[in-house]
Structure 1
Amino acid sequence: MSLLSTRGLSKHFAGLTAVNDVDFDLPEGQIRALIGPNGAGKTTFVSMLCGRVELSSGVVMFEGRDISVLPAHKRIGLGLAYTFQITSVFGNLSVAENVALAARRRVKGAMVAQVVTEALGKVGLADRMEQNAADLSYGHQRLLEIAMGLAQAPKLLILDEPTQGLADSEISDFKALIRDLANSTTILLIEHNMNVVMELADFITVLDFGQVLAEGTPQDIRANAAVQAAYLGTV
């Protein structure tokens, strides 16, 4: 059984079809990359998975349960965490306080501090716990977002453009982080950096004009002529 699946998932905005009749299956334990040109519908698609955008038609299933009409906070409670394409940290709070807010959805009392320390340690921000989030670089804010997701012990972690704003050295650390996280959680990665995608993903889904253009291993996708044409030969 897939951890997450969709059938006929569609979203229409005032006559514009952003996502059109997408069937999608994500097995437990996989690193799946979702790629495609700008405007392909990737963020709208994952926003429907997370409950941030209401679907126009279709079904979203998580662990065999229909979650199509559940609000976002209920989906988080089931184990589905999503980091945003644009950082959503609280700039006036410390790094630790940001992660603690996320942790308190799952644990209480002294356990909060333990979860905060573990999550920040995993993303390499343990030495910045007392720093205000607003003072972090953009790349470090993205890592803080991931820590906030990890604090919820997700069964599925959805990362939207996580390497945007990271330096090359930080991207190398990020890839190591994802490989480590994959031992304990399923990962859906929306990413434009093709080196990251090809190195990390077990399987890739390509969206174009709101529809699935192709699916396969990194080798399959790299060799796919339709993907090369849609993605301007950058894959």
Structure 2
Amino acid sequence: MSLLRTRGLTRRFDGLTAVEDVDFDLPEGQVRALIGPNGAGKTTFVSMLCGRIWPTCGTVEFAGRDVSALPAHKRIALGMAYTFQITSVFPRLTVAENVGLAARRVRLEGEGARLAQALKRVGLGAHHKALAGDLSYGHQRLLEIAMGLAQEPRLLILDEPTQGLTDAEIDAFKALVRALKAATTILLIEHNMSVVMEVADRVTVLDFGKVLAEGPPAAIRADRAVQAAYLGAPA
């Protein structure tokens, strides 16, 4: 059964169709990558999944429930968590306080232990007393992931999580995703194709607001239509 499902999902802005008639199924326990060129509709699509914007038409289902009309905070309470493409931490709060706020959004018991575990998993355990605004951009990205993990979501949506990370941090992120997949379904919006090819079970490609292709990473890499639209010819 799909944990996340859309049918005919469409969003128009003043006559411009950003996402058009997208049918999408994400089974529980899968790591799915969503890729495509700039302007392909990825952010708009994810924003509709999360409840940040409403679809013009079509439906979003989560865990068998139609959530198309639910606001973002109610989807979070059902088990969705997401990070933004642009960092959205509270810069004047400590790292620990940021994660604590995220945990309290879903009223978790044992918050302290979950907070510490989330920070340790992303490599920020030693920075728990630092102000979030004093972290490097890459560490702020990792803090956002920790904030998502603290909610113990059924679905974790990560929008450009490796942007600004060092090579070593990217390697650690890949290991983190592999460790998480046993307990959490992950939707990954990512431009770093090394990350996509190494951690995703399946890849969905958007182009001009429509699904261009979908399949295992190797098949997507070899797909001529995907190469023409996004990847370029293989070396």
Alpha-carbon shift at residue 105 of structure 1 (Å): 2.0
Aligned to 1:177: 176
* Preserved CA contact (<8 Å) 2:3 2:64: yes
Aligned to 2:8: 8
Aligned to 1:155: 154
Alpha-carbon shift at residue 112 of structure 1 (Å): 2.0
Aligned pairs, number: 234
- Structure 1 runs (4+) deviating above 3 angstroms are none
Matched, 1:219 2:230: no
Q: Structure 1: 5+ residue runs without aligned partners? A: none
* Preserved CA contact (<8 Å) 2:4 2:61: yes
Identity across the alignment (%): 71
Amino acid at match of 2:181: A
- Rate the CA distance shift 1:108–1:187 in 2: closer, same or farther, 3 A: closer
For 1:177 and 1:234, the matched residues in 2 are separated by 30
Amino acid at match of 1:35: I
Matched, 1:24 2:5: no
* Preserved CA contact (<8 Å) 2:87 2:140: yes
* Preserved CA contact (<8 Å) 2:59 2:68: yes
- Rate the CA distance shift 1:234–1:34 in 2: closer, same or farther, 3 A: farther
TM-score (norm 1): 0.97
For 1:22 and 1:231, the matched residues in 2 are separated by 19
For 2:190 and 2:108, the matched residues in 1 are separated by 34
Equivalent position SS for 1:231: helix
* Preserved CA contact (<8 Å) 2:50 2:80: yes
* Preserved CA contact (<8 Å) 2:221 2:231: no
Alpha-carbon shift at residue 234 of structure 1 (Å): 6.6
Aligned to 1:45: 45
Equivalent position SS for 1:173: helix
* Preserved CA contact (<8 Å) 2:174 2:199: yes
- Rate the CA distance shift 1:96–1:23 in 2: closer, same or farther, 3 A: same
> What are the Cα deviations for residues 199-232 of structure 1, in whole angstroms up to 9, with x where unaligned?
0100000000000000000111011000000015
Aligned to 1:98: 98
Matched, 1:57 2:57: yes
Matches within 5 A, 1:193-232: 193-232=192-231
Alpha-carbon shift at residue 107 of structure 1 (Å): 3.4
For 1:104 and 1:45, the matched residues in 2 are separated by 27
**CA root-mean-square deviation:** 1.1
Aligned to 1:133: 132
For 1:167 and 1:199, the matched residues in 2 are separated by 17
Q: Structure 2: 5+ residue runs without aligned partners? A: none
TM-score (norm 2): 0.97
For 1:16 and 1:234, the matched residues in 2 are separated by 30
Amino acid at match of 1:40: A
For 2:158 and 2:173, the matched residues in 1 are separated by 12
